[in-house]
């Protein structure tokens, strides 16, 4: 099994985008289905964000300092998605804004995934060798095992508050 970091992240993206499509195709009144799909989206995004924040971004930043600006932008985009995820995780699927909030989350994350795949991954692949990408991939697989599955309320709330006051 390949542990190439970019292959692993693209597989994650595929699964995330599939869950987005399922949500969009669920139909107006499928409240229970959409609630379950959003639970799945939250889990996929929480794990994926964790392995990128904890492994991929810091490793690439060390190895390819020229990509620092892109990485900062990515952290900020993750942060915006995190805030929406925290709110959605606390929301009832039949709440008035549940679908709207999910739609905004989907739009944001799709844009972010597109930038990673179209612009960022090619630069990373060019800058790093196969061996380095395999090592980062192996490290991300390990991180997946210890990653949180849901936003942890106290720290997520603290992050929200920190973001507002800083």
Find tokens 């009144």 and name the residue: 29
Contacts of 61 (CB under 8 A, 6+ apart): 67, 68, 71
- Closer Cβ to Fe ion, 26 or 81, answer by number: 81
Q: Which residues bind Fe ion (CB under 5 A)?
A: 52, 116
- Closer Cβ to Fe ion, 26 or 109, answer by number: 109
Residue nearest to Fe ion (CB): 52
Cα–Cα distance measured from residue 110 to residue 93, given in angstroms and rounded to the nearest whole number: 22
**Least distance from Fe ion to the Cβ atom of residue 71, Å:** 10
- Closer Cβ to Fe ion, 33 or 123, answer by number: 123
**Least distance from Fe ion to the Cβ atom of residue 51, Å:** 9
- Residue 120 contacts residue 67 (beta carbons within 8 Å): yes
Torsion sign over Cα 115, 97, 79, 138: negative
Q: How far separated are the first and last CA of the chain, in Å rounded?
A: 43
**Least distance from Fe ion to the Cβ atom of residue 84, Å:** 14
**Least distance from Fe ion to the Cβ atom of residue 164, Å:** 23
- Closer Cβ to Fe ion, 26 or 41, answer by number: 41
């Amino acid at each position: 099994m390949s542990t190439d970091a970019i292959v692993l992240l693209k597989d994650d993206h595929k699964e995330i985008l599939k869950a987005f499509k399922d949500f969009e195709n669920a139909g107006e009144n499928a409240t229970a289905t959409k609630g379950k799909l959003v639970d799945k989206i939250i889990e996929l995004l929480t794990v994926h964000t964790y392995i990128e924040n904890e492994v991929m971004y810091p490793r690439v930043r060390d190895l390819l300092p020229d990509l620092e600006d892109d990485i900062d932008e990515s952290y900020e985009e993750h942060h915006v998605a995190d805030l929406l995820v925290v709110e959605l995780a606390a929301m009832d699927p039949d709440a008035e804004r549940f679908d709207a909030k999910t739609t905004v989350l989907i739009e944001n994350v799709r844009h972010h995934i597109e930038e990673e795949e179209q612009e960022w991954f090619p630069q990373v692949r060019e800058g790093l060798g196969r061996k380095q990408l395999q090592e980062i991939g192996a490290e991300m697989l390990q991180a997946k095992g210890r990653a949180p599955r849901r936003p942890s309320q106290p720290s997520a709330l603290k992050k929200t508050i920190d973001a507002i006051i800083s």
